[in-house]
């Protein structure tokens, strides 16, 4: 029993790193920045995919469970993106007749290209959201973060804090009426009506979380007395009391049983 309790946390620590290594074994990302003019660059992001595996296009189709491949560039005051991100991949359109839908994906190799204008030597940061799959399964993957050096210019950019740099695009896209963005990326509300509205929204958000908690708690109690669960209580209790030699052993076995269900 003690050995099981010792190795259980170790399993949860090792499992994520094992999955991450599996992803690296089937897909390798490469990055490059090619200078095309005095201040213009072509940034390329290439996915080298192992035979038999694939990543989905930006419009994968399917039943909605397929994760589209998207690239998000962090805001950088020394970089201006020109146009949309393009790719040279040949999408495969596979029809799943049994499920009556089709999916679109890339296999073997695909390169994404983004044109940009830089005003100083700097670093372009961002993340790739994707899902790597074969015919039998998909591996859980987290966003692939990257940093690409943009150099060859006369001046070097001052360092920009990551917290400001990565959030400016999202903040600017979500500015509402009566809001302005400061040079550091902070959002300030200038309209009094908007300030009152924001305060109400925060209060409602807190209230909704509390109501969700109590709603889940009550539903759990209701589920506890349903025939399929309530009728098993005597069997479960007698199992731990009669199989255990001492009261302490029974309590320990019951605790381990409960924690195992929670963790699973």
The whole-number pLDDT of residue 20 equals 62
What pLDDT was estimated at residue 19? Answer: 52
Quickly state the pLDDT bin for 157 (edges 50, 70, 90): low
Q: Which residues of 71-101 are buried (b: 16+ CB within 10 A; e: fewer)?
A: bebbbbebbebeeebebebebeeeeeeeeee
- Residue 155 CA, distance from chain mean position: 35
Pick the more confident residue, 175 or 30. Answer: 30
pLDDT score, position 127: 96
Which band of pLDDT confidence, cut at 50, 70 and 90, is reported for residue 166?
very low
Each domain of the chain, given as residue ranges in start order, spans: 19-159, 201-263
Would you mind telling me the total number of residues written for the chain in this entry?
264
The per-residue pLDDT for range 10-41, each reduced to its tens digit, is: 444 444 455 567 788 899 999 999 999 999 99
pTM of the model: 0.54
What is the C-alpha separation between 158 and 117, in angstroms, rounded?
Answer: 17
At residue 61, does pLDDT exceed 70? yes
User: Are the C-beta atoms of residues 165 and 75 closer than 8 Å to each other?
Assistant: yes
Fold (CATH) for 19-159: Immunoglobulin-like (2.60.40)
Give residue-wise pLDDT tens across range 227-261.
777 677 677 767 666 666 777 777 777 787 777 77
């Amino acid at each position: 029993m003690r050995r099981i309790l010792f190795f259980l946390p170790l399993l949860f620590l090792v499992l994520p790193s094992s999955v991450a290594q599996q992803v690296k074994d089937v897909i390798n990302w490469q990055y490059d920045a090619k200078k095309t003019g005095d201040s213009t660059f072509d940034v390329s992001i290439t996915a080298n995919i192992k035979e038999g595996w694939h990543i989905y296009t930006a419009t994968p189709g399917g039943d909605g469970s397929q994760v589209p491949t998207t690239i998000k560039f962090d805001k950088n005051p020394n970089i201006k993106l020109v146009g949309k991100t393009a790719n040279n991949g040949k999408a495969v359109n596979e029809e799943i007749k049994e499920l009556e839908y089709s999916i679109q994906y890339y296999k073997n190799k695909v390169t994404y290209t983004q044109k940009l204008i830089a005003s100083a030597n700097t670093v372009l940061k961002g993340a790739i959201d994707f899902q790597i799959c074969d015919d039998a399964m998909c591996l859980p993957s987290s966003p692939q973060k990257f940093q690409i050096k943009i150099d060859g210019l006369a001046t070097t950019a001052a360092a920009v804090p990551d917290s400001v740099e990565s959030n400016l695009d999202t903040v600017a896209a979500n500015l509402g009426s009566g809001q302005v963005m400061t040079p550091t990326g902070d959002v300030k509300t200038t309209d009094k009506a908007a300030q009152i509205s924001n305060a109400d929204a925060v209060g409602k958000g807190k209230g909704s979380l509390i109501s969700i908690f109590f709603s889940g708690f009550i539903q759990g109690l209701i589920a506890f007395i349903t025939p399929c669960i309530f009728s098993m209580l005597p069997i479960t209790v007698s199992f731990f009391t009669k199989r255990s030699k001492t009261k302490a052993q029974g309590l320990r076995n019951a605790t381990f049983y409960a924690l195992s269900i929670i963790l699973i």
